[in-house]
Amino acid sequence: MSTQTLPEVDVRPEGTDHTGDDTPKMFHYVRKAKIAESAVMGTHVVALCGEVFPVTRSPKPGSPVCPDCQKIYEGLPAGGE
């Protein structure tokens, strides 16, 4: 398995993995440029960990983040370089 660096690494967590009450259990990192498009158009985004989903929620401070996304995000170069 290889890891690929994504262009425009300006990301923020977005939610998937819903619980029974429609509250996300975990948020994923996705490219910032795709968040608004997904929220408005309903298109799917690809998280750093590879999960594909439409953006439906915004994270709140302290929200749990996907450990795979977090690990990949921390390994990316600062500033998207």
Q: Which residue has the tokens 């990192």?
A: 29
Contacts of 70 (CB under 8 A, 6+ apart): 29
Residue span of the structural domain in which 65 resides: 32-75
At 33 the pLDDT is 86
* Residue 18 in domain: no
* Residue 17 in domain: no
At 63 the pLDDT is 87
Number of domains in the chain: 1
Tens-digit pLDDT profile for residues 5-48: 444 544 455 555 444 555 557 899 998 889 888 888 989 999 99
For residues 28 and 51, what is the distance between their CA atoms, to the nearest angstrom?
8
The amino acid at 53: F
Where does the pLDDT of residue 75 fall: very low under 50, low under 70, confident under 90, or very high at 90 and above?
Answer: very high
Q: Which residues pair with 29 in a beta bridge?
A: 13
At 19 the pLDDT is 46
* Residue 3 in domain: no
At 64 the pLDDT is 92
What's the Cα-to-Cα distance from 3 to each of 7, 9, 10, 13, 26, rounded to whole Å?
13, 14, 17, 19, 21
